Structure 1
Amino acid sequence: MNETVSRRRTAVRTALASLTATALLAGCGAEVEPSGSGVRKVTVNRCGEPVEYTTPRRAVVYEGGSADKMFALGLTEHVHGYVMPPANPPVTESPWAAEYAKVKFLSDDLLNRELLVEAKADFVVAGWNSGLSDKRGTSPEILDGLGVQSFMHAESCFNYPNHPERHAPFDGLYTDLERLGQIFGVQQRAATVVADMKRRVEAVRAQAPSTRTPVFLYDSGTDQPFTAGRQVPPNDIISFAGGRNIFADLDGRWTQVGWEAVVQARPEVIIILDYQDQPATQKIKFLKTSPKTKNLPAVVNDRFFILDYNEGISSPRNVDGLEKFAAYLRDLRS
């Protein structure tokens, strides 16, 4: 073949490949801006706000849910380090323990601006009002000014000022994986991961009974309990598995309620969210001894299900938690 013709055909194939990739991104709701410098830029929603991202190289992830989303997409090489507060279980217990070992442990404290600057981070993954917060100087606006790109879990966008988004919790998980796929240029990998999760979820839902077991999620608190409203993953876990969250009518995320409302709902199962620094055994002991709760049907019948912390916050492990809880409910009925 003539060398000049060969070069022209190669150039045409390259151009077509580039146009195809751009079209695929546009179809996913992202817009790619060509760059003569070779820096890839893409516009993706951060909550309800379109934000231009360049491909991150030194990401910092806050809590297990953020890290696991990156690891599930095969993005370990883009992660500089992780911040893991004491509530999180040891990373050695994670399905992605080998990936954690490849990146730096930065802190077991709350996320803060100084840590991100010191780490020379160019990207941070966290939730609104958990890792990203006005109070701690880590709002997206402040970080934008420092040159640190930020990504917020879609599930947490429910109460993000000025640009709120509403997602059912599992839909928020899928959205996060798809958006991260767009930012890092791994859309097909993200599509594959999400499709597998949806397949597993539908398999559970297909077995869910029509009679719904009343379920109370106990996060923490003795004077007043902290629990899950309908805007956080445990609500979907309970519902998809065949239960009924007794506080599903609360249009909020993690929220405080009164013990009187718990007693009135008479839950038959209690899900205990297991913190590393507030173990499930301690919470169960309280429920069994407190005059307010010791006569609840779930307590009398010793029906406690332990939900790992990283199965309860927005994380790929939500699906693991769902499968385990569904199996627990099926065993109760057998």
Structure 2
Amino acid sequence: MLLHRAVTLLATLALPALALAAPTQYPLTIENCGSPLTFQHAPIRAVTIGQAGTEMFHALGLGDKLAGTSLWFNDVPARYKAQNDKVERLADNDPSFESVIGKRPELVAVQLEWMVGPQGVVGTREQFHELKIPTYLMPSDCEGKDNLVGADGTRLQAFSIESVYRSISQLAEVFDVQQRGEALNTQLKASREASTDSLKGKDLSHTSALFWFSSADLDIDPYVAGRKGIPDFMLNTLGIRNVVESDEEWPTVGWETLAKANPTFLIIARMDRRRFPADDVEKKLEFLRTDPVTRNMDAVKNNRIIMLDAHAMQASLRMFDGLETLATAINTYDLPK
């Protein structure tokens, strides 16, 4: 991937500038999703609820700080596997409150507010904070979003990529590894630019797409990406229109409606999770090619189906690899005018 290939070169080029980064001054207080978090020192033990945080820890060289991890969609990238194998997986999906606090973390990093929030399935932030355990909620899931409306929340404002860069910078500051955070953000920005540059000159003015994450059952309406969320940001970055108009993060929309929208591309999630039957990408493909409604969609008839890791559809480091995957795939097609 472009992101992985760029790491060594960009880190080397960035070293002179990053050498001036000041060390963290403790006690450190940061504002996080409406809650001030104070650290007297760099946390020694952390737990992540969400793959995005786990992979950020690894990318920042902090994998040895992880006492537990949970909520996974895809296998960890090969470059992190050896370190990640040493981290206890508390649950493939949502862990129990007791299993998290049992690891005695000095920080819990949370990808999604429905896991730890006002109606968190794991617990509320207050429950953790009463035990003097700070919870760092990824800004990408709390800023400009109402997580009490819709199954996965509703975007009040469009997702901003700056929220991902800020997560990296803030976690780097909490753990006093600012140089690594700045280098990682430099790499991510270069990867994003390379993906958009690869499509320059290609006419995408009539190109649209649909993201299909999963379905509670293959016989009912699928979970698809709404406007203003992360997949919509990916499409806008590449100059492609999302055919779904809902502001919910992952609304359910009927296949008849989606077929009428007739997207140029179908982008379907590939994942190792097996919560629903449609988590299996092969079952998605079989459905699309045999269902009387979906098999007549132009994207299906012309095999304009792109498989993308589910985690790349989240606010995560993998999203940048996802942008490259989409750009590379789209470049292989002669698009209809």
Superposed displacement of residue 282, structure 1: 0.6
Residue 191 of structure 2 is aligned with which of 191, 194, 200? 200
1:95-147 superposed Cα distances (whole Å, 9 cap, x missing partner): 41122023223333412211112111221112234432424252212111122
What is the SS of the residue equivalent to 1:43?
A: strand
Question: Contact 2:221 / 2:255 at 8 angstroms: preserved in 1?
Answer: yes
| 1:299 corresponds to | 300
Residue 112 of structure 1 is aligned with which of 96, 99, 114? 96
| 1:15 corresponds to | none
In our comparison, the structure showing a higher alpha carbon Rg is 1
Give, in whole Å, the separation in 1 of the partners of 2:59 and 2:157: 24
Q: Which runs of 5+ in 1 are unaligned?
A: 1-19, 26-31, 33-39
1:272-287 aligned within 5 A: 272-276=268-272, 277=274, 278-287=279-288
Give, in whole Å, the separation in 2 of the partners of 1:147 and 1:166: 32
1:244 is the counterpart of 2:241: yes
| 1:211 corresponds to | 204
What is the SS of the residue equivalent to 1:96?
A: helix
Question: Contact 2:156 / 2:247 at 8 angstroms: preserved in 1?
Answer: no
| 1:229 corresponds to | 226
Letter in 2 for 1:239: N
Question: Contact 2:50 / 2:112 at 8 angstroms: preserved in 1?
Answer: no
TM-score under structure 1 length normalisation: 0.80
Q: Which runs of 5+ in 2 are unaligned?
A: 1-20, 149-154
Question: Contact 1:45 / 1:51 at 8 angstroms: preserved in 2?
Answer: yes
Superposed CA RMSD in Å reads: 2.4
| 2:214 corresponds to | 220
Give, in whole Å, the separation in 2 of the partners of 1:95 and 1:242: 31
Superposed displacement of residue 246, structure 1: 1.4
Residue 58 to residue 99, structure 1, CA distance change in 2 (3 Å): same
Percent identity, please. Answer: 26
Give, in whole Å, the separation in 2 of the partners of 1:53 and 1:292: 55
TM-score under structure 2 length normalisation: 0.79
Superposed displacement of residue 51, structure 1: 2.5
Residue 309 to residue 137, structure 1, CA distance change in 2 (3 Å): closer
Question: Contact 2:114 / 2:121 at 8 angstroms: preserved in 1?
Answer: no
Give, in whole Å, the separation in 1 of the partners of 2:111 and 2:156: 13
1:326 is the counterpart of 2:319: no
Aligned residue pair count: 294
What is the SS of the residue equivalent to 1:50?
A: strand
Question: Contact 2:114 / 2:147 at 8 angstroms: preserved in 1?
Answer: no
Residue 131 of structure 1 is aligned with which of 97, 100, 115? 115
Question: Contact 1:48 / 1:165 at 8 angstroms: preserved in 2?
Answer: no
What is the SS of the residue equivalent to 1:331?
A: coil
Give, in whole Å, the separation in 2 of the partners of 1:139 and 1:170: 26
Give, in whole Å, the separation in 1 of the partners of 2:250 and 2:305: 20
Higher RCO (CA-CA < 8 Å; seq separation 6+)? 2
